[in-house]
Amino acid sequence: MELSEATARLRDDLRAAAALGDEKTIAIADALAGAVETSAQLMLLSALSTFAGEVSDALGDRTVHVELHGTEAVVDVRHKEKEKSEADPAADDSGEHPTFEELTGDISRVTLRLVEQMKAKAEEAAAQSGVSLNSWVSQAVQGALRDQWGSMGGGMGGGKNGPTWR
């Protein structure tokens, strides 16, 4: 399921509503639309994860997991026996790092201080990628972790929109 399709509709609806206003209203709506898109994707992922948990409870012998690959939510159905052996460290001491769904939870806010020239370059790169600066920085952190964990057999991978948790 491509989350960006749903959030793009939300962004377009905000812009269409703002088109009824003046130029300042349109500019504010554009800024809000960019900011709300990432938040909406996270809320959709959270709702899908909750739904997957409910489906898992109903299935009994299988569990449903939702993983994020770029802006695409991917569903994975697993047998509980296999999952138990993977979760038991005595059964498998591979040293794997947590997957995206194991790291979900409250989102933390951080303050990042950059020299103005670096911030301008980051904003430019984010605009070229079609994402907000916040999303771009988040993807950069995920990419750095993916590279670090990837060399150790971790649980992250790259997507078509840049580095992402897997």
How far apart CA 96 and CA 32 sit, in angstroms, is 38
Domain count, the chain: 1
Contact 159, 70 (CB under 8 A): yes
Residue span of the structural domain in which 21 resides: 3-165
The pLDDT value recorded for residue 24 is 92
Distance of CA 159 to the CA centre of its chain: 11
* Stretch among 16-25, 96-105, 113-122 having the lowest mean pLDDT: 96-105
The answer to whether residue 89 scores a pLDDT higher than 70 is no
Q: How many CA atoms lie within 13 A of 48 on its CB side?
A: 20
pLDDT band at 165 (very low <50, low <70, confident <90, very high): very low
The answer to whether residue 67 scores a pLDDT higher than 80 is no
User: Cα-flanking dihedrals φ and ψ of residue 151, to 5°?
Assistant: -70, -15
The pLDDT value recorded for residue 87 is 54
Note the pLDDT tens digit of each residue in 106-164: 666 777 887 888 888 888 888 887 778 888 888 788 777 777 766 555 444 444 344 44
The answer to whether residue 4 scores a pLDDT higher than 70 is yes
Quote the radius of gyration of the chain (alpha carbons, Å).
Answer: 19
The pLDDT value recorded for residue 161 is 41
Greater confidence (6 vs 89) lies with 6
3-class DSSP state for residue 155? Answer: coil
pLDDT band at 92 (very low <50, low <70, confident <90, very high): very low
pLDDT band at 22 (very low <50, low <70, confident <90, very high): very high
Q: What is the mean pLDDT of residues 61-71?
A: 79
| Total-model pTM | 0.45
The overall average pLDDT reported for the chain is 74
User: In this prediction, what percent of the chain has a pLDDT beyond 70?
Assistant: 72
Q: How many CA atoms lie within 13 A of 8 on its CB side?
A: 7
